[in-house]
């Protein structure tokens, strides 16, 4: 069952602005045990800091138990071809390489220790390992963690949550996370745990979906029951500022293959910055989502609707042409 929560970033408990989400919640059927008879998740902008989050929502305990059980596999099984490392790594190279390269370039680190929060199938960590990094991480879903271990041969990363139990790990130079923070119910708990394993001067790279600077309606469809938060550059600034990290760089245009996400790099200095400096105007946030975002999606639709599918189609065509060319040339 869902309950009303305080703003997961600033703690505001009574002032919220309604956010209109015109889209069907395509995920809620997977979370029936958490949402009962509701057909949609509800989203609000915090009346103090402007942070957009699911509210009311399931309790942190219920969510953790749900993720650990990996129940959602029933409706979204992994592609069959991924039982082999080859086809999966081909996808992973396409999906993660730009992000891994960006994190390495923006931090100026060549190699070191990297920890990934929510490493999924392990593709990004595999790319770091290929580049000479020592890899570690946590992934709550046992099925995914087993794939990373058994199929990709990754030995450092383990199944589990990012919580008090990570404190025993050796300190890392870089924390990496890809589309993970939007699934985190206890943001400050996770940041406190990450802080215990980051070296002084180390970095955190975060990429998450966003509604801001949108080019498609995906930006609003991110507001579904699989997610609890929708960040912007500024709300990520606020999150890290509360935990001794200083923002370094962020962009809404990091990846040309997919759209409506934000990339963010911050450095751990231990200095507590003023989080209120990163607050957004709640009325402006609500106005943007309710009015400006849908208009932008319409204007950009000719190019960017289902952009990832278009990119994928181009990839398939290119592969097909290469295959035919190889056959014609009699090579394998
Ligand atoms: Zn707030």
Question: What pTM value is reported for the model?
Answer: 0.90
Report the separation in Å between the CA atom of 213 and the middle of ligand 1, taken as the mean of its atom positions.
20
The dotted CATH code for 79-304 is 3.40.50.150
Burial label for 94, CB within 10 Å (0-12, 13-18, 19+), is: middle
- The torsion angle over the Cα atoms of residues 50, 55, 60 and 62, rounded to 10 degrees, is -160
Q: Give the pLDDT confidence score for residue 76 in this predicted structure.
A: 59
Which one-letter DSSP state was computed for residue 77? P
| Cα–Cα distance, 179 to 209 (Å, whole number) | 7
Report the separation in Å between the CA atom of 189 and the middle of ligand 1, taken as the mean of its atom positions.
16
Give me the count of residues in the chain.
332
Domain boundaries, the chain: 2-72, 79-304
Report the separation in Å between the CA atom of 105 and the middle of ligand 1, taken as the mean of its atom positions.
32
What are 6-37's pLDDT values in tens digits?
999 999 999 999 999 889 998 888 888 899 88
Q: Give the pLDDT confidence score for residue 80 in this predicted structure.
A: 65
Omega before 56 within 30 of 0, i.e. cis: yes
Report the separation in Å between the CA atom of 187 and the middle of ligand 1, taken as the mean of its atom positions.
12
What are 51-89's pLDDT values in tens digits?
999 999 998 888 777 777 765 554 556 666 677 899 999
What are 267-317's pLDDT values in tens digits?
999 998 999 999 999 999 999 999 999 999 999 888 777 776 777 777 777
What are 187-224's pLDDT values in tens digits?
999 999 999 999 999 999 999 999 999 988 889 999 99
Cβ 179 vs Cβ 207: under 8 Å:
yes
Integer-rounded Cα radius of gyration of the chain: 20
Report the separation in Å between the CA atom of 217 and the middle of ligand 1, taken as the mean of its atom positions.
24
């Amino acid at each position: 069952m869902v309950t009303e929560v305080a703003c997961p970033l600033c703690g505001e408990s009574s002032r919220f602005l309604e956010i209109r989400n015109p889209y069907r919640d395509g995920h809620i059927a997977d979370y029936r045990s958490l949402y009962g008879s509701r057909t949609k998740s509800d989203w609000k902008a915090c009346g103090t800091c402007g942070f957009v989050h699911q509210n009311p929502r399931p309790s942190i305990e219920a969510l953790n138990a749900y993720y650990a059980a990996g129940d959602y596999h029933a409706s979204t099984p992994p592609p069959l071809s991924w039982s082999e490392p080859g086809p999966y790594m081909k996808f992973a190279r396409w999906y993660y390489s730009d992000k891994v390269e960006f994190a390495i370039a923006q931090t100026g680190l060549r190699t070191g220790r990297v920890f990934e929060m929510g490493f999924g199938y392990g593709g990004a960590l595999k790319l770091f390992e290929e580049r000479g990094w020592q890899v570690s991480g946590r992934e709550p879903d046992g099925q995914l963690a087993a794939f990373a271990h058994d199929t990709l041969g990754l030995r450092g990363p383990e199944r589990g949550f990012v919580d008090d139990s990570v404190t025993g790990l050796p300190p890392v130079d870089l924390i990496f996370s890809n589309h993970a923070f939007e699934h985190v119910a206890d943001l400050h708990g996770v940041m406190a745990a990450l802080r215990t394993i980051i070296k002084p001067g180390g970095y955190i790279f975060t990429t998450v979906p966003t509604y801001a600077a949108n080019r498609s309606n995906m930006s609003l469809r991110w507001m579904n029951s699989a997610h609890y938060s929708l960040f912007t550059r500024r709300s990520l600034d606020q999150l890290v500022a509360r935990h001794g990290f200083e923002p370094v760089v962020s962009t809404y245009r990091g990846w040309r293959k997919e759209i409506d996400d934000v990339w963010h790099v911050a450095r751990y200095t231990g200095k507590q910055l003023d989080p209120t400096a990163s607050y957004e105007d709640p009325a402006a946030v609500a106005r943007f989502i309710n009015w400006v975002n849908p208009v932008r999606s319409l204007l950009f639709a000719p190019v960017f609707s289902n952009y990832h599918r278009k990119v994928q189609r181009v990839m398939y065509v290119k592969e097909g042409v290469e295959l035919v060319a190889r056959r014609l040339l009699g090579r394998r």
